[in-house]
Structure formats: structure tokens, C-alpha cells
Amino acid sequence: MTAALRSDPTIVNVALGDRAYDIVIGRGLIASLGARIAALRPGARAAIVTDRTVAKHWLEPAQASLDAAGMSHFHIAVAEGEPSKSYRVFEDVCEALIGGRLERNDLVVALGGGVIGDLAGFAAAAVRRGVDYVQVPTSLLAQVDSSVGGKTAINSPLGKNLIGAFHQPVLVVADTGVLDTLSQRQFRAGYAEVAKYGLLGDAAFFEWLEANHGGVFAGGAARQHAIATSCRAKSAIVARDERETGDRALLNLGHTFGHALEAATGFSDRLFHGEGVAVGMVLAAELSAELGLIPAGDARRVAAHLAAVGLPTRLQDIAGFRQEGIGTADRLMALMAQDKKVKRGRMTFILLKALGHAFTSSDVAPEKVREFLARKMA
């Protein structure tokens, strides 16, 4: 299958009043990008922000689509990877946007994974006190998570995503075919977030994934369905709680443990974000079982599904666990305590009261969690 083949797109609306926007999901959509943007903003110019890897595969098709719609455009390609979410690269992007004479009515087009979405989205929020932007997510993680909801950010040397803004895109165009050039490992990491939506709020979707994950990886209608269902889940939560004062925290299922594991492995290639989330979701399910919230069999079912797609599910599955280790339970506890989800000294955990029903809890005794982690490491 190639991205040239088209499917009928699925449209998910993010209901945010006068900042509402559509997420359009389907195979081959990049060819219609220019027409879709031109319909939204006749006469506007577009500044494409991308990374060099994505540019190799998808810049030319995006440019051709803008050309076909008669849109004038220029582009900025930064180095791929998390280090580009820095003050330095942010400055480069802003200067290139200003130097390219982007005006108030023009648009930024973020063509890439979550790094580009966060970086370009934040630049769009800042340049000229805010210009509109379109998300063209090219990783699975970006299509189901980071491109939806309007959180944009770069990293401070003191921590991830500490400098940023809420800035909603005016359109999201998710071409499911562009994921064909993504590495299997990156695709799997994004899949952890897809499974997350089932676990946190949609048991039927989780069950569907257990039966259809092969189709999601293969790239046909099942992939489109999984991405659309994920976007619907995220946009419903974002519409209820745009600025994360309540429900939006449920999206952090598996992330308290996951972030600590990412930090413990130095945010290196040993553990991608989604892989940390996979291990973290299994830990959250197992902790829920130990607290008597769900049957132990349900926790085993979570692990079995994530293992079936090739994701790590145990601390021992993390690359280099034997050689370099991941630190002690105390160290993981300290890292979790530093996580920004900590409120007034209490650690918040997202736990399960059923498969498909997550909730926030601030009253799990830290000693219980430390003892649980120590046992899991043994």
C-alpha cells in the first residue's frame, strides 16, 4: 500500500467553541493539504516547519500540494530529535519565520512528529504574538496524541516541556499513509498511546485492539479506525478540560512510572517515551490489582496485549536492564516525586477500577509503591 492510495477521510471535531477545529484522518491526505489550507485561509502564505528526516520523505509531497492550491510557501528544516525542542532551535525557527516575512494572517505548518508539533506550535504562539498553525503529524504518537489539544512547548535544561503555551491548531491533517516510512520501533511506541485510550476509558476499543492490532500495523482501514478513535477520545477529554485541571490528567495513565523510567535511562535510545508508557501502564494495572481494584487477570491481560505488539512490559525488558540497570526503587520514587504531576507534595497515580475505566488517586501510600517497585525489580 502506498500513500498515493486514498481512503475516505474520517473527521473528528475538537469542540472548543470559537477555537474549534477539525482533525482529518485518512490515507493519502497530504495530497489535499494545500486545498484544505487554502479553503480555510484564502490567500495566506505557509511556513512549513519540519525536521530533516521527515523532510526527506514528505516535504516534497507537502510542497507539491501547496503549489497545486496556488499557495505561496517556504520551509525551515531543523535537526530531528528531542534536542531541537531547545531555546536555540526555537530562536532559529522564530527568526526564520520573521525573516520569511510571515504575516499575521499567514500560517505555520508543522510537518513532523511530536517534536516538530511542539516546537513549531510554540513558535506560532509566540511570533507576532501568535499566528495560526496547522498540524500535519507524521508519527503515530503525534497523530493520536501530541497534535491534538494545543499543548506546545520546548524544554528547559531544568526539565522537559517547561517553556510553552496553550495554542490550538486551526486544522490537523493526519495522513495515515505517511506512517509507512516510520520505523517499526517508533510505530510501536506510538501504539502504546493508542492502547492507553482503550485502557483509560473505552473497554470495547481495548478489546477491538486485542483482535485488530495486526491491521493497525498493516495500515489499512483498521489503522484509520484506531487513529480516529484515539483522536475522538483525546478531543473529548480536551474539550472537557482544556487546561488540565481535572479529567485531562487521565491521559497520564502509565506516565508517572513511564516518565521516571525515561529519566532513569537518561532519556536515551534505551527507552522511547511510548515504551516507558507501556511498562508504566502495566505497572499501573498491576498496582491497581494489588490494591484490590481490578482482578490480577486484568493486569495480565494488559501486559499480554502490549507484549503481543512487541512493546516492553516489564522493567527487565528495558534495554540494558542487567548491564546498566535502571537505579533503585528509591531513585524511581525520587524521580516520580519530581514529576510535574505532583500536587502539594502528594504523588498522584492514575489507576484502573476496570479495564476501560481509569481514575486519579492521591492516596496511595508512597511506601506501598516503593515496596511494589522493589519487588518488580528483583
Please indicate whether residue 252 is annotated as part of the active site.
yes
Contact (CB, 8 A) for 195 and 206: yes
Q: In the structure grid, which three cell numbers stand for residue 230, read together? A: 484515539
Q: Taking CB under 6 A as the rule, does residue 142 contact ligand NAD? A: yes
Q: Taking CB under 6 A as the rule, does residue 151 contact ligand NAD? A: yes
Q: Taking CB under 6 A as the rule, does residue 125 contact ligand NAD? A: no
Q: Taking CB under 6 A as the rule, does residue 202 contact ligand NAD? A: no
In the complex, what is the shortest distance from the CB of residue 371 to ligand NAD, in angstroms, rounded to a whole number?
Answer: 30
Catalytic residue among 244, 301, 314, 341: 244
Q: Taking CB under 6 A as the rule, does residue 145 contact ligand NAD? A: yes
- In angstroms, rounded to a whole number, what is the distance separating the alpha carbons of residues 353 and 357? 6
In the complex, what is the shortest distance from the CB of residue 258 to ligand NAD, in angstroms, rounded to a whole number?
Answer: 11
First to last CA, the chain: 45
Fill in the DSSP letter of residue 256.
Answer: H
In the complex, what is the shortest distance from the CB of residue 152 to ligand NAD, in angstroms, rounded to a whole number?
Answer: 6
Q: In the structure grid, which three cell numbers stand for residue 334, read together? A: 525520587
- In angstroms, rounded to a whole number, what is the distance separating the alpha carbons of residues 319 and 306? 17
Please indicate whether residue 353 is annotated as part of the active site.
no
Q: Taking CB under 6 A as the rule, does residue 238 contact ligand NAD? A: no
Position among 80, 106, 286, 298 found at the interface with ligand NAD (CB under 6 A): 80
> Where does the chain have alpha helices with state H?
33-40, 52-68, 87-99, 114-126, 140-141, 184-201, 203-218, 221-240, 255-264, 273-290, 296-308, 329-338, 366-377
**Beta-bridge partners for 134:** 109, 171
Catalytic residue among 234, 270, 305, 376: 234
Q: Would you please indicate which residues are annotated as catalytic (active-site) residues? A: 129, 151, 193, 234, 244, 248, 252, 255, 259, 273
Which residues contribute to the site for ligand NAD (CB under 6 A)?
51, 53-54, 57, 80-82, 85, 112-116, 118, 138-139, 141-142, 145-146, 149, 151, 161, 178-179, 181-182, 186, 273
